[in-house]
Amino acid sequence: MQTLILVIHVMIGLALVAVVLLQRSEGGALGIGGSSGGGGGLMSGRGAASLLTRTTALLGAAFMSTSIILAIMGSNGGSGSVLEDQPLPGVEAPVLDVPVVPVGPAVPVGD
């Protein structure tokens, strides 16, 4: 279930980026086809701007919803915090008594 919502979340995110990039730039600094570009393509006029604005709002709401759902699903079954599993400062980790096993023949040093 979490994978399905994650896939939907990524698809909504990509669609949101595409819709935002299609919108006309108000400032004209970095936007393609900003205020000064004549263009005159398929998406022109007040109706297209209204459609893109509504689509952006709907996709944004869907993105936030899937983000919250994924956060709730991710918090269930896990520990409360990543920091809870970390050792305290000044406390050393336990040392395991593991015997050292030499690998291969011993090579004399400094012959």
Q: Which two tokens stand for residue 45?
A: 């006029």
Q: Which two tokens stand for residue 7?
A: 């896939």
Per-residue pLDDT tens digits for 63-78: 999 999 999 988 876 6
Q: pLDDT at position 78, please?
A: 62
Per-residue pLDDT tens digits for 3-35: 999 999 999 999 999 999 988 776 554 545 544
Global pTM exceeds 0.85: no
> What distances in angstroms separate CA 59 from CA 9, 35, 69, one per listed residue?
10, 25, 15
One-letter amino acid identity for 13? G
